Amino acid sequence: MNYHPQFASEPGPNLPVPPLRIVMPSGDTLSSVDSDLEEKISTVFERKLKLMTTAPPGLLIEVPVGTLGGALSEVTEFPLAGGAPVGAFFDYGCLHLIASSTLNHFQKMYPKGRFDVRRFRPNLVIHSDSEPFVENSWVGRNIMIGQELILRVSIPCPRCISVTLAQDDLPRDPSILRAIAEQNMCDLGDFGTLPCAGVYAEVIKAGHIQCGDTLRFVD
């Protein structure tokens, strides 16, 4: 969580992926063009690591027993990016949206915690004065943001221990996940009933967006 990557230049459609810069907790910077990058990160994490821009076919995520529920409660491996384009490096979906009313509700219910948006790592935070977990009602619907982008909301986003981990000035806090479980358990079919915050979405029509754009339904 304390390794911060960014592209060396702005990525664009139909262009090669630009080099990546990785700022380490020490403040040192690594680059994806460094010939010894993989050796350096493998040494830090004490396991052999490889940097790739495209996921190879059949790549699996390994999880402890009980991470999922329902029919998959005993599963310890499942395919990477099941709700994203082939070759993507996402746990499931390629976009994650969360409403401000949801974050505010969690904070109200557990005031000692810090429900900083960094814990949830969304692509988009939707300002909303609606009831908390309004995103759950978007599942299966098409939404437009701005004048071009159209998304289809797929499933509520299940949360795991990652939201509890320390990063930057945020402390480790196991009660963050406990609060989510107390407030928003969602039935995800074969995945079981899991604590969720926000929703996953897939791109139906690509387009440019900017801060302040309005979200509206188009189905």
pLDDT in tens, 149-170: 999 999 999 999 999 999 999 9
The yes-or-no verdict on residue 212 having pLDDT over 90 is yes
DSSP state of 89: -
Percent of the chain's residues with pLDDT above 90: 82
How confident is residue 53, by pLDDT bands cut at 50, 70 and 90?
confident
The yes-or-no verdict on residue 63 having pLDDT over 90 is no
The CA–CA distances, whole Å, from 147 to 30, 201, 214 equal 38, 18, 9
Helix (H, G, I), strand (E, B) or coil at 219: coil
- Rounded to whole angstroms, the Cα distance separating 36 from 181 reads 42
Residue 68's pLDDT is: 86
DSSP state of 16: P
> CB within 8 A of 41, min separation 6: which ones?
30, 49, 51
Half-sphere exposure of 154 (CA within 13 A, CB side): 16
What tokens were used for 101?
């009313």
How confident is residue 73, by pLDDT bands cut at 50, 70 and 90?
confident
Q: Give the predicted TM-score (pTM) of the model.
A: 0.89
pLDDT in tens, 89-119: 999 999 999 999 999 999 999 999 999 999 9
Helix (H, G, I), strand (E, B) or coil at 164: helix
CB 200 within 8 A of CB 93: yes
Single out the residue of 93, 94, 60, 102 nearest to residue 77, CA to CA. 60
